[in-house]
Chain A
Amino acid sequence: MMKSTHNSPILVTGAAGAIGRNLTAMLLAKGHKVRALVRREVERADTLRGLGAEVVQGDLTELASMHRAIEGCARIYFGMSVSAVYLEATVNTGAVAGHHGVEAFVNMSQMTVTQMSITETTESPQHKLYWLAEQALSWSGLPVVTVRPTVFLEGFFLLLAAASVRDADELALPLGAGKTSPVSSVDVARAVAAILDDPAPHIGHIYDLTGPESADLDYYAGCLLRGARPDNPLSRRANFRVERKTSAGRPVGACRPPPPR
């Protein structure tokens, strides 16, 4: 039973980010010790310490940093935003994790990798990095658990759209008429916490994480209007518009959301 390693901390990378922060809090609540890795000593470090985590500063692409971060940990959450050094960071962290003989390495990947294969990946160099990172980890011999979330509810509807919903009565997202099934980053953290709490049955598995519905923007606009409580002015927006943009800047047409039920 892997609960015997309860005394060694779980390493959470990207601990200043939304998933890392929520995951840190959830693991602490389950009774685990958490070592929270942050790139820089920022204000978030105090928040993480306030939660009860041990905070370490380090760079995922540096050997010395990762030895310091991983030494004494049996379970690792590896997640970072994609960037030019993403693959380097994955391999560097994986190599050091292997050296220290970790019992679980949870890799935060991305849902579109599910549709890639050795004969066809993607035209997007960014998305391809996730596939390459998964490849490298699959050769590594590490006890990997792969998590592939789709886009985040918070990214779409808070980061990109909340201001225009609030101030311009408009939901405008560059999705065309496509359907999407965004998942909450809090749910993603909860799923990773469940894996890290008892990783043995999950080693070698791949988990796709989506929301409970796949729909187009008209549907989500309807939720915005209907989902608000009756006392919320959002529920009475008569002129609410939906723009199914086909690029970051060019709307192809606007339509009304379905009438309230």
Chain B
Amino acid sequence: MPSTTSPVMTELHKQGRYDRMSEDYLKLTGETPTSMADFVKLHAAEFTRRHALGVGP
């Protein structure tokens, strides 16, 4: 599985090596993979300051 922090990944991203799209998830599951918009909605609390939610200092 992919690691998240290596300098190599930075270089490969700059080279465009991660600019790829596949429909294999749809073929396997019949569903569309999670989009960034879905992901943000799902994890909204983790991107939001606690005081802004009225639950902390």
Taking Cβ atoms with an 8 Å cutoff, the residues of A that contact B are: 17, 19, 79-82, 108, 110-112, 114-115, 122-124, 126-127, 149-153, 155-160, 162, 165-167, 174-184, 186-188, 190-191, 194-195, 207-215, 219-220, 223-224, 226-229, 232-234, 245-248
B28-A177 in contact (CB<8A): no
A228 touches B40 (CB 8 A): yes
| Chain B residues within 8 Å of chain A by Cβ, number | 45
B32-56, CB < 8 A from A: 32-41, 43-44, 46-49, 52-53
Convert B6-18 into 0s and 1s, putting 1 for each residue whose CB lies closer than 8 angstroms to a CB of A.
1111101111111
**A191–B25 contact, CB under 8 A?**
yes
Contact in complex: B13, A175 (CB < 8 Å):
yes
CB of A159 within 8 A of CB of B18, answer no
A98 smallest CB distance to B (angstroms): 23
B29 touches A232 (CB 8 A): no
Q: Please name all residues of chain A whose beta carbon is closer than 8 Å to the beta carbon of B20 when the two chains form the complex.
A: 111, 114, 150, 181, 208, 210, 214
Cross-chain contact A248 with B19 (CB below 8 angstroms): no
Mostly, the A contact residues are mixed
Which residue of A123, A175, A220 contacts B10 across the interface (Cβ within 8 Å)? A175
Please name all residues of chain A whose beta carbon is closer than 8 Å to the beta carbon of B32 when the two chains form the complex: 212
Q: Nearest chain-B residue to A17 (Cβ)?
A: B1
Q: Which residue of A lies closest to B15 (CB)?
A: A178
**Beta-carbon contact of B40 and A209 below 8 Å:** no
Contact in complex: B39, A181 (CB < 8 Å): no
The 8 lowest CB-CB distance pairs between A and B, nearest first, are A178-B13, A155-B4, A227-B40, A208-B22, A233-B52, A179-B19, A176-B14, A124-B8
